Chain A
Amino acid sequence: MINQRYKLDFFKQKAIAPLVMFRIIFGAMLLFSSVRFIAKGWVNTQYIEPQFYFGYLGFEWIKPLPGNLMYIPFVLMVLAALFILLGFMYRYSAFVFFICFTYVELIDKSNYLNHYYFLSLMSFLMVLVPANRDFSIDAKLFPKIRREVTYAWHTGILKFQLAVVYIFAGIAKINSDWLFEAQPLKIWLQAHHNVPFVGSLLQEEWTAYFFSWMGCVYDLFIVFFLLNKKTRPIAYLAVIFFHVITWLLFPIGVFPWVMIFSTTIFFGTKFHQQLLNGLKSLFKWSKKIPEKVKNMPSPKPYVRYGLIIYIAFQILVPLRFLAYPGNLYWNEEGFRFSWRVMLMHKEGNATFYVTDKSTGRTIEVDNTDFLTVRQEDQMATQPDMILQFAKMLKEEYDGKTFSNHKQSITLHDPAVHAEVFVTLNGRSSQLFIDKKHDLTTLPYNLKHREWIVPFEK
């Protein structure tokens, strides 16, 4: 039904106020999170200190800038976010933000977070929409760009993106661990048993079930309640309550705030209009309205096709896991870019062995020689990263000479094996990767990885 409505009304003229308000709110959020990222010292720990980066398949050519030059994209992001907020050189600023942010995210898989992907997509969409056509520096400098209306798809596509996040997050929760074992929430909630007064409540079993089911229902249906004018106020209260709780309980940084503020896009025109008018009078924005303020150019057909392609892409990508056999959480094939948020508690221990083929002698690798703690932690449970690391180890060790006081051996074309144990959602650890495979001989692609030991139960 929603789809139909969007399809029919892509180019309907609507008030621009919600879009302008969203630009301001979103710009402020981007500004805050970019400054926060730098202030936390994460540029250094995630993009300067590591010796090795887990690139994305097909994007391995994307490398960090050398040393402190890596701060450049982050400083650009801060400036671009500020300019988005102010509506100054808006399209360029949105584009610069999108490019810098996406570049940074593509450097290393071990930093992948669903909410980073969300920000990347949203900043891309912001490049496409004319959110600077009112109450912006651009509109001040070039009054003829000012409009009171805009196409329906300009806000519709943003709502669609949010709907995708919530609904797919909800669908992902429909699985037996989440609903019938209350895992991983059982593990995560009991860890708070020392919180005064409510601690004992948090380690009750029924609390974990209650949170699991409520979380699932919330994710699946919140968008529909936000879309409906009547239920919107109570739905937004639920949004605030839900995300504040997750922020209090889990180390999920700014994500709850991103969602709380982004969902204001669902509010009615009247609300945004009043807010915008308030801001306008606060900043003494000229009331004088240029003539062509209600003229929209005639719709271009390629926009419709572009939107349909984007929408289809957003719906199909999270479903690509259906093309793979086996347990999704175990194999993690088609796992990323699918809004599987806070869905599993997976820990692993990966031991790599580099073997000299001619003598059969072996080195046990100390992963921390090559990886940061965060990278090792991520790698140990994700097969594609295990494979990437093995191939990196081969390069690292090939041609190296090892010796003691008695003899000396030089490695040529070594084999790399790994023994990996993984625990998923509170189960005992199981063998994940068997030592029998020489990982350097295995292909790194999107095909099903038969070398993963199948999930037992």
Chain B
Amino acid sequence: MLKKSIGLVLILSAGLLFSCKDKKDKDDDVADFNKAEMLENVSANIILPALNKFDVEVTAMKSSYATFKADQNVANLEEVKAHWKSAYMTWQTLKIFDFGPIRTIGFKSATGTYPIDTAKIHSNIDNGGYNLSAVVNLDAVGLNALDYLLYNDNAMNQLQNDADYANYAEEVIQKLYDETQSVVSGWSSYESTFNASTGTSSTSAFSEFVNEFNRDYELAKTAKVGIPIGKANLGLANPEYVEARYSGISFELLDESIKALKATYNGNSFDSNAEGIGFSNYLVHLEKSSLDNTINDKFGIIQNHIDGFSMTLEEAINDPSKTDQLDDLYLHLQQQVVNIKTDMTAAFGVLITYQDNDGD
């Protein structure tokens, strides 16, 4: 790609010499936009702060678990749970950026896979000799394994009386901690690559960012809501597919995920929510303000629908009077896909395919 850019500069610079267009003459009615500035903003004000916060929470979870192990009381366990929850909420932002070091080490699936396989977890605990990094154990590790290990009805009892169980939870936390460190150090060297990769090829950071943003949105729609309410199962609900089923924070996570996607779309800072440069600015620059409004409005409508539930997702699924409300939420989630995956992506001129190809 770099080679191509240099070639392009050489050839078109010749063209520039002959063009008598005065640079200051640029249309003033079009908002300035620069992809490089957007990538810089996203990495400096969203990805990096989210990664740091996640690191802080996972580290605190690790040390609070050590405290709990030494002194197994309810208050100490609550401390672990608080850091787990905070890490999980931060994860809703971090999981959007499945490229660079996050993709390299498979961090997204190692951290966020659900539903987990509780039978597998117990068989690991009982039989020992497991390798938590093995692909077969993807549904026995990560934040949702901890959801089960820390929150199931019998959790305190098992943590206190079953050393293998307590050690398993510790190892899951340790794995998460190690991987987080690896992503943190990986990102510091990848950041400059990301910021500079503004091209249109399917492998440029900008394209990857657009594609992963869409993938994460669709995953939120499908995995957090669609599958549990039975959209892939003839409408027969599958409560066992609910995210964070044991802690019951599935709606909070969905809300946070939509909030994170909306903030990322607008380029807003992770720490302060201050406005920055995002996809939204690019659309306005391309004279697509109405699409930009549609997308932001839709995010708002989705959030309102999520806020309309004052119960856990599992309770809502099991309550027949909530079926229409859930379907309604899902419909809005579905309608946003066309806005961002089709309209927005097409306006940017980004290829949806991930692989390099021969083109037409």
> Which of chain A's residues have a CB closer than 8 A to the CB of B199?
192, 194
The answer to whether B351 touches A349, judged by C-beta atoms less than 8 angstroms apart, is no
The answer to whether B342 touches A251, judged by C-beta atoms less than 8 angstroms apart, is no
A426 within 8 A of B: yes
Q: Of B9, B201, B337, B338, which contacts A197 at CB under 8 A?
A: B9
- Binary contact track A166-198/B, C-beta < 8 Å → 1, others 0: 000000000000000000100110111111111
Cα-based distance from A345 to B360 in the complex (angstroms)? 12
Cα-based distance from A202 to B19 in the complex (angstroms)? 12
Contact sample, A vs B, 24 pairs, CB 8 Å cutoff = A42-B357, A114-B360, A187-B349, A188-B349, A191-B200, A194-B35, A195-B8, A196-B9, A198-B15, A201-B16, A248-B7, A248-B8, A251-B351, A251-B359, A346-B346, A347-B342, A349-B337, A349-B338, A361-B234, A362-B235, A366-B232, A373-B352, A421-B342, A423-B343
Dominant SS among interface residues on chain B? loop
Cα-based distance from A406 to B337 in the complex (angstroms)? 31
What's the least CB distance linking A141 to chain B, in Å? Answer: 36
Interface size class of chain B, counting residues whose CB lies under 8 Å from the partner chain: 35 or more
A295 within 8 A of B: no
Interface residues of chain A, those whose CB is within 8 Å of chain B, are: 40, 42, 45, 113-116, 184, 187-188, 190-198, 200-202, 204, 206, 241, 244-245, 247-255, 341-342, 345-349, 351, 356, 359, 361-366, 373-374, 377, 402-404, 406-407, 409, 411, 421-423, 426, 428-429
Q: Of A184, A253, A346, A402, which contacts B236 at CB under 8 A?
A: A402
Of the listed residues A40, A45, A361, A428, the one surrounded by the most CB atoms of chain B closer than 10 A to its CB is A428
The answer to whether A253 touches B357, judged by C-beta atoms less than 8 angstroms apart, is yes
Known contacts A364-B226, A404-B236: A200-B201 contact under CB 8 Å: no
B86 within 8 A of A: no
> Which of chain B's residues have a CB closer than 8 A to the CB of A342?
359-360
The answer to whether B8 touches A374, judged by C-beta atoms less than 8 angstroms apart, is no
Of the listed residues A241, A374, A406, the one surrounded by the most CB atoms of chain B closer than 10 A to its CB is A374
- Binary contact track B190-221/A, C-beta < 8 Å → 1, others 0: 00000000111110000000000000000000
Inter-chain pairs besides A42-B355, A194-B199, 13 sampled, C-beta below 8 Å: A115-B358, A115-B360, A187-B346, A187-B347, A194-B198, A201-B16, A248-B7, A250-B359, A251-B359, A253-B358, A373-B354, A428-B290, A429-B338
B312 within 8 A of A: no
Chain B residue at smallest Cβ distance from A402: B234
The answer to whether A349 touches B359, judged by C-beta atoms less than 8 angstroms apart, is no
Q: Of B36, B233, B234, B343, which contacts A194 at CB under 8 A?
A: B36
What's the least CB distance linking B293 to chain A, in Å? Answer: 12
The answer to whether A341 touches B19, judged by C-beta atoms less than 8 angstroms apart, is no
Cα-based distance from A411 to B234 in the complex (angstroms)? 9
> Which of chain B's residues have a CB closer than 8 A to the CB of A45?
355
B13 within 8 A of A: yes
> Which of chain B's residues have a CB closer than 8 A to the CB of A346?
346
The answer to whether B16 touches A251, judged by C-beta atoms less than 8 angstroms apart, is no
B341 within 8 A of A: yes
The answer to whether A356 touches B347, judged by C-beta atoms less than 8 angstroms apart, is no
Q: Of B202, B232, B235, B345, which contacts A347 at CB under 8 A?
A: B345
Chain A residue at smallest Cβ distance from B351: A251
The answer to whether B7 touches A244, judged by C-beta atoms less than 8 angstroms apart, is yes
B75 within 8 A of A: no
- Binary contact track B317-360/A, C-beta < 8 Å → 1, others 0: 00000000000000000100110011101111111111111111
The answer to whether B7 touches A194, judged by C-beta atoms less than 8 angstroms apart, is no
> Which of chain A's residues have a CB closer than 8 A to the CB of B200?
188, 191-192, 251
The answer to whether B35 touches A193, judged by C-beta atoms less than 8 angstroms apart, is yes
Would you list which residues of chain B between 2 and 29 have a CB under 8 Å from chain A? 4-5, 7-9, 11-13, 15-16, 19, 21, 23, 26
Cα-based distance from A429 to B21 in the complex (angstroms)? 34
Cα-based distance from A362 to B226 in the complex (angstroms)? 12
What's the least CB distance linking A73 to chain B, in Å? Answer: 17
Cα-based distance from A66 to B342 in the complex (angstroms)? 34
Known contacts A187-B349, A421-B342: A404-B358 contact under CB 8 Å: no
- Binary contact track B26-44/A, C-beta < 8 Å → 1, others 0: 1000000111100000000
Known contacts A194-B34, A363-B231, A422-B342: A248-B4 contact under CB 8 Å: yes
Chain B residue at smallest Cβ distance from A344: B360
Of the listed residues B5, B23, B238, B348, the one surrounded by the most CB atoms of chain A closer than 10 A to its CB is B5
B60 within 8 A of A: no
> Which of chain A's residues have a CB closer than 8 A to the CB of B181?
none
B237 within 8 A of A: yes
Cα-based distance from A42 to B350 in the complex (angstroms)? 21
Q: Which 4 A-B pairs have the closest CB atoms?
A: A253-B358, A252-B359, A198-B12, A191-B349
Chain B residue at smallest Cβ distance from A245: B11
What's the least CB distance linking B125 to chain A, in Å? Answer: 25
> Which of chain A's residues have a CB closer than 8 A to the CB of B234?
356, 359, 361-363, 402, 409, 411
Q: Of A40, A197, A252, A429, which contacts B360 at CB under 8 A?
A: A252
What's the least CB distance linking B26 to chain A, in Å? Answer: 7
Cα-based distance from A232 to B342 in the complex (angstroms)? 44
Of the listed residues B199, B357, B359, the one surrounded by the most CB atoms of chain A closer than 10 A to its CB is B359
Cα-based distance from A411 to B235 in the complex (angstroms)? 13
B222 within 8 A of A: yes
What's the least CB distance linking A298 to chain B, in Å? Answer: 43
Cα-based distance from A345 to B200 in the complex (angstroms)? 14
B286 within 8 A of A: yes
What's the least CB distance linking A119 to chain B, in Å? Answer: 11
The answer to whether B356 touches A40, judged by C-beta atoms less than 8 angstroms apart, is yes
Known contacts A187-B347, A198-B16, A364-B226: A192-B8 contact under CB 8 Å: yes
Cα-based distance from A116 to B338 in the complex (angstroms)? 31
Chain B residue at smallest Cβ distance from A36: B358
What's the least CB distance linking A453 to chain B, in Å? Answer: 14
Cα-based distance from A45 to B353 in the complex (angstroms)? 12
The answer to whether B231 touches A364, judged by C-beta atoms less than 8 angstroms apart, is yes
Known contacts A191-B349, A366-B232, A373-B354: A341-B342 contact under CB 8 Å: no
Cα-based distance from A453 to B4 in the complex (angstroms)? 40
Chain A residue at smallest Cβ distance from B290: A428
B115 within 8 A of A: no
The answer to whether B222 touches A366, judged by C-beta atoms less than 8 angstroms apart, is yes
Of the listed residues A188, A248, A345, A402, the one surrounded by the most CB atoms of chain B closer than 10 A to its CB is A248
The answer to whether A255 touches B358, judged by C-beta atoms less than 8 angstroms apart, is yes
The answer to whether A253 touches B342, judged by C-beta atoms less than 8 angstroms apart, is no
> Which of chain A's residues have a CB closer than 8 A to the CB of B341?
349
Cα-based distance from A190 to B343 in the complex (angstroms)? 16
B291 within 8 A of A: yes
The answer to whether B346 touches A426, judged by C-beta atoms less than 8 angstroms apart, is yes
Q: Of A113, A244, A373, A421, which contacts B353 at CB under 8 A?
A: A373
Known contacts A113-B359, A349-B341, A429-B338: A201-B346 contact under CB 8 Å: no
Chain A residue at smallest Cβ distance from B200: A191
